[in-house]
Amino acid sequence: MKKGELSHLAQEGARIAVRVTPKVSRNEVTLHDGQIRVMTTAIPEDGKANKAVQKLLASALGIAKSRLELRQGAFSRNQALRTVGRSVADIWD
């Protein structure tokens, strides 16, 4: 998915549900039947896969990874993240 392609979902306080698949051959974010799927090469050990998911999803949303907060599912394939803070674009509007 291109950088910022999911930017319409990056509203402050938005809850974003994702399906995570760790340990795959490539990093990818897809939208399939209305569900966001994040595939990462990172292994699900010591939070490595969670950090990779945060980075990949932030890129797809077009926001900084520090604006995404894992709210649910740290040890699950089904996760919920929340956007926090405001982007520079929001401040200038």
Give tens-digit pLDDT for 12-32: 999 999 999 999 999 999 998
| Residue whose structure tokens are 């050990």 | 45
CB 72 within 8 A of CB 7: no
92 versus 12: which is more confidently predicted? 12
CB 85 within 8 A of CB 69: no
| Residue whose structure tokens are 């897809």 | 30
36 three-state secondary structure: strand
Q: pTM score, two decimals?
A: 0.88
For 57-77, what is each residue's pLDDT tens digit?
A: 999 999 999 999 999 999 999
For 31-48, what is each residue's pLDDT tens digit?
A: 989 899 999 999 999 999
Q: How many CB atoms lie within 10 A of CB 84?
A: 14
| 3.30.70.260, 3.40.630.30, 3.30.1490.70, 3.30.1200.10: CATH of 7-84 | 3.30.1200.10
